Amino acid sequence: MPLKDYAEIVERVQRALGRGFAEEPWILNMPGRSIACKIDHLHYLAVMPAFVDQLGRLAGIFPDQIIESLVRTGNFITRGPDRQPVMALTVGWGGRPVTIRAAFVDADFIDRAVKTYGNLSTPLNLSDLRISSADKERVDAFFENKTPPQGLAYF
């Protein structure tokens, strides 16, 4: 059985995400509608499982393979020992806060996709999506020994 080439899968997913963004820019950075929104200069917050389901459709890869590849390459933020990227968070963007299942994505992964394959000359700006400050302690614990989202990521 050959070893999986996670870098090749990540490249394929980035190419599909960039092209998908070029065709439908609303898939990123529009809270309540997008699969992922930029919350600070280092992180996007991805709605799960919609994020990997959409990437799977765009790239022709099973969602579980996308999760495994993004975890193993460090593009999904995880916490050991189970390395599970998904957690429940309360988020808001102007209206009533909602609780979602979400994963933190390294901003460079998405920014590189939209710049390289989505015909965008600069990375996306921050979205209006914010995490409830009541979740900050849990998020900081999740990011143990990693750089957590900045204060501006919270409401």
The pLDDT tens digits of the residues spanning 51-105 come to 999 999 999 999 999 999 999 999 999 988 889 999 999 999 988 999 999 999 9
Tell me, what's the pLDDT at 14?
Answer: 98
The pLDDT tens digits of the residues spanning 9-59 come to 999 999 999 999 999 999 999 999 999 999 999 999 999 999 999 999 999
Domain around 55: 6-153
Residue among 62, 68, 13 at smallest CA distance from 36:
13
Q: Is residue 1 in some structural domain?
A: no
Q: Where are the alpha helices (DSSP H) in 24-106?
A: 50-59, 63-72
pLDDT exceeds cutoff 90 at 147: yes
Angle of CA points 44, 151, 109, to nearest 5°: 20
Number of structural domains (the chain) is 1
In this prediction, residues 129-154 reach a mean pLDDT of 97
Tell me, what's the pLDDT at 3?
Answer: 64
pTM of the model: 0.95
Q: Is residue 50 in some structural domain?
A: yes
